[in-house]
Amino acid sequence: MSPTPPAFELDNTNPPPTSPIITAGPPAPSPPHPSPATESTAPPHNPRAEVPQEAPNDPSDPSDRPRKRRRRSSSLHDSQPGYARPSASKQQQPKRRRAEDTTSPDVAHEPIMRLEHTHEHRIRPSTNGSSVNGSSPHTNGSSAKSTETNGYHSNGHAEGAVRQHDASPFYGHDREEVTRILLQSLSDLGYHGAAKHLSSESGYELEIPSVAAFRNAVQQGQWEEAEALLFGHEAVELDGGVLLGNGHGHARRRKSRASFGSQNGYARQGLPLAATADTTQLKFLLRQQKYLELLDNRELNAALNVLRNELTPLKRDIGRLHALSSLMMCQSASDLRIQAEWDGAEGDSRRQLLSEISKSISPSVMIPEHRMATLFSAVQDEQILGCRYHNTIAQPSLYTDHECPAEEFPLQTFKELRNHSDEVWFVEFSHDGSMLATAGKDGLVCLYDTRNYSLRHEIREHDRNLSGDTTKGVCYVAFSPDDQYLISCAQNNEFVVINVRDGRRVAHGDHFDYPVTAAAWLPDSQTFVIGTQGSRRPLGLYSLRSAAGTSSSSSSVVRNNEIHSWRDPPWDDSGPADNHNSFRITDCAVSPDGSRLVATTIDKRILMYDLRSRAKIAEWAMDDRLTSICFGVDGAQLLINMYEGRVLALSAATGEVVMQYEGAQQAEFVIRSRFGGAGDNFVVSGSEDARVYVWRRQTGVLVAALEGHAAGGGTVNAVAWHPREGVSASAGDDRRVRM
């Protein structure tokens, strides 16, 4: 090993490192040898005794060729052992030479520098096929090339001790992975000193230099280097497009490689990309960002160049290309930003670009962002899903596994209300949870106070207009969002709005020919939707305000104040009494934000309307008859009850079945179900076998089937969940309401 040829030209065209990071080269005493392998033996000759393991200078040399690493930090090296290097000799030479050149003073410096660098690393198993420990460099074509990217030359790190990469696994997990994730989390948390310390102590680096270089390049807007780093030089040359610098010529590309040292030079092979990465797409993203930034700076010519020579040859996404070219017409930078929905070079866009690209880089090279947080969330979510009785929205602690106790869940009956003389058909809590309303076949609407469940009001508004005692029956009640009013819908073809405080009626509508089946309030507590079974006025929007604008709290009772009526097809009232093509409503609901109205019809369809424009948004046909529908609290899910005992959750946007809940029985009667629990975690429904069924919304697991209503008796018609406490109410045919 005599130092030979100018290290710089040597070896496989590796760009000679300009300033070798002091690779702790084997000091003059000549590096042990170009011997392949046998690294592990600490080169005894290595003066720096500390670095025993690492030391095998030679073997490590090749890999590391002293590279100028700007980035001190990172580079993970593969552990020395096994680093066989056939071309070791050549590569060593420069090093060696250097080492030799450096006389003692240098040698003396080395350790210091080394200290600064601190990161000794073993050659990190780079993911492009390089295997751990050493053999990798060889497997890569330009052998040392890839290894070059990996960081420092691990020779003789003065640090010594550090390198011990303990190969023992950490409770079953790969030590390296754990350490790197910890490093990332520490940096994310802001504890940079601790991160540095950890990396020096463990010998692992968070990112190899080229990744760090890439990250830097993107953030500073040095697109040329970024692209070179990402794909490697050959790639850049081979694939389409000439990479233009930001206004610089291309000529000094080669040179720049050299001059930028580790930044470009080592990226011969580029960063290892994930298997699914689409290099053209990545290039497109990078170049697009560059183009937008140039436009932002009003360097139109350069931007045009970029567009022509870089973006177009990629032959991708022609539509987007056209859009980008049209952006050139923008008059000003702010206009451009608005049109492109892009927030400028200083804004977040670079960071977003980086995130986007980092998704395509192989994860072991560039750890996905916030990996530890992602892992934690995933575990917590899984625990929450598995918890049967999870009835809180509080975030469970990370300290222990989460499991909600069953005691807090409403499983026992603690109260029974027996005010009704006939079947109870509907039950609902007020929005603030202070009142409970029940409605039954006897035409009675009872209002209870939820504190002590005492009866507040008994409302018999429907006693008029009786045509027979079989047409009594209130089938629906609805509290207004501010809990001031209550609508009750009855089978005798009318509905009544009652003021809850004093029990008087404030409005009613009786111009229906058919029973009123459902009602839903809009968030403003002044307008509501009524659904009936009549085809003339199946779905109407009503207001509490009378036409004259007088307040409805006065003694005048607003009557039949219909604002809008949906019919299909729309027509005037002069047609025949019954339009058979129209639809009849069995249930309706308004989304919590008041934007959408959804209704189910007798002929198995679900209709959705936009409330502001009153136009029909969607219509879905279901398999069987539907009896109930309601929105989830976030407005994104719908819960429906269908015949043959099916309870389904649908997505409100597409109408597709998200989840099916099994167990309830339904064959003849109207059964209603509701979302309930904290965060709408549960779905609760009645059933014809006198039980109340509760499921976990997200997973569909049956949590409980509560008995209690007279078994032989009848169906549980409706259920409701208290908005705040863990109390639920069920209304059954045995004339009782159970809490």
Partner 1 sequence: MGLAYNIYLNSKRIYGCKICKTHLADHDEIISRNFRGQHGKAFLFNSVVNVQLGEAGERNMITGRHVVRDISCRQCKEVVGWKYDRAYESTEKYKEGKYILEQELMCQVS
Kindly list the residues in this chain that would bind partner 1 in the complex (CB under 8 A).
423, 425-426, 441, 467-468, 470-471, 473, 475, 515, 517, 533, 535, 576-578, 580-581, 584, 586, 602-603, 627, 668-671, 688, 714-715, 717, 733
Sequence-distant (6+) residues with CB within 8 A of 555 are none
Nearer to partner 1, 345 or 602 (CB): 602
Q: How far is the CB of 469 from partner 1 (least distance, A)?
A: 9
Nearer to partner 1, 70 or 625 (CB): 625
Nearer to partner 1, 535 or 685 (CB): 535
Nearer to partner 1, 208 or 720 (CB): 720
Nearer to partner 1, 377 or 470 (CB): 470
Q: How far is the CB of 376 from partner 1 (least distance, A)?
A: 48
Q: How far is the CB of 470 from partner 1 (least distance, A)?
A: 5
Task: Give which of 532, 617, 622 is closest to 578, Cα–Cα.
Answer: 532
Nearer to partner 1, 475 or 530 (CB): 475
Nearer to partner 1, 172 or 712 (CB): 712
Other C-beta atoms lying within 10 Å of the C-beta of residue 502: 9
Nearer to partner 1, 209 or 538 (CB): 538
Q: How far is the CB of 580 from partner 1 (least distance, A)?
A: 4
Q: How far is the CB of 437 from partner 1 (least distance, A)?
A: 16
Q: What is the residue-wise DSSP string for 308-338?
A: IIIIGGG---HHHHHHHHHHTT-SSHHHHHH
Task: For 545-574, give one letter per residue: b (16+ CB within 10 A) or e.
Answer: bbeeeeebeeeeebeebeeebbbbeeeeee
Sequence-distant (6+) residues with CB within 8 A of 588 are 518, 519, 520, 529, 531, 539, 597, 598, 599, 600, 629
Nearer to partner 1, 458 or 603 (CB): 603
Residue 262's φ and ψ, nearest 5 degrees, are: -55, -25
Nearer to partner 1, 289 or 517 (CB): 517
Chain center to CA of 42 = 49
Q: How far is the CB of 717 from partner 1 (least distance, A)?
A: 5
Q: What is the residue-wise DSSP string for 192-243?
A: HHHHHHHHHHH---SS-HHHHHHHHHHHHT-HHHHHHHHH-HHHHHHSSS--
- The two three-digit tokens of residue 520, written as one number: 């839903």
Helix (H, G, I), strand (E, B) or coil at 100: helix
Cα gap 38→60, rounded to integer Å: 11
Q: How far is the CB of 614 from partner 1 (least distance, A)?
A: 25
Q: How far is the CB of 491 from partner 1 (least distance, A)?
A: 9
Cα gap 448→454, rounded to integer Å: 5
Q: How far is the CB of 357 from partner 1 (least distance, A)?
A: 58
Nearer to partner 1, 14 or 532 (CB): 532
Q: How far is the CB of 584 from partner 1 (least distance, A)?
A: 6
Chain center to CA of 181 = 21
Helix (H, G, I), strand (E, B) or coil at 94: helix
Adjacency order of strands within the sheet including 657-661: 626-631, 637-642, 646-651, 657-661
Nearer to partner 1, 120 or 689 (CB): 689
Cα gap 503→369, rounded to integer Å: 59
Q: How far is the CB of 562 from partner 1 (least distance, A)?
A: 21
Cα gap 213→361, rounded to integer Å: 14
Q: How far is CA 317 from CA 277, 289, 322, 365, 495, in A?
A: 16, 15, 9, 29, 58
Q: H helices then E strands: how many in the chain?
A: 18, 29
Nearer to partner 1, 310 or 733 (CB): 733
Residue 572's φ and ψ, nearest 5 degrees, are: -100, 175
Nearer to partner 1, 222 or 730 (CB): 730
Cα gap 89→32, rounded to integer Å: 11
Nearer to partner 1, 389 or 512 (CB): 512
- The two three-digit tokens of residue 568, written as one number: 């299909």
Q: How far is the CB of 352 from partner 1 (least distance, A)?
A: 53
Taken in order 197, 200, 204, 210, the sign of the CA dihedral is positive
CA atoms in the 13 A half-sphere facing the CB of 313: 15
CA atoms in the 13 A half-sphere facing the CB of 46: 33
Q: How far is the CB of 497 from partner 1 (least distance, A)?
A: 21
Length of the chain (residues)? 739
Q: How far is the CB of 480 from partner 1 (least distance, A)?
A: 23
Q: Residue 547: beta bridge partners? A: none
Q: How far is the CB of 734 from partner 1 (least distance, A)?
A: 11
Q: How far is CA 482 from CA 296, 426, 434, 479, 486, in A?
A: 50, 20, 12, 8, 10
CA atoms in the 13 A half-sphere facing the CB of 164: 7
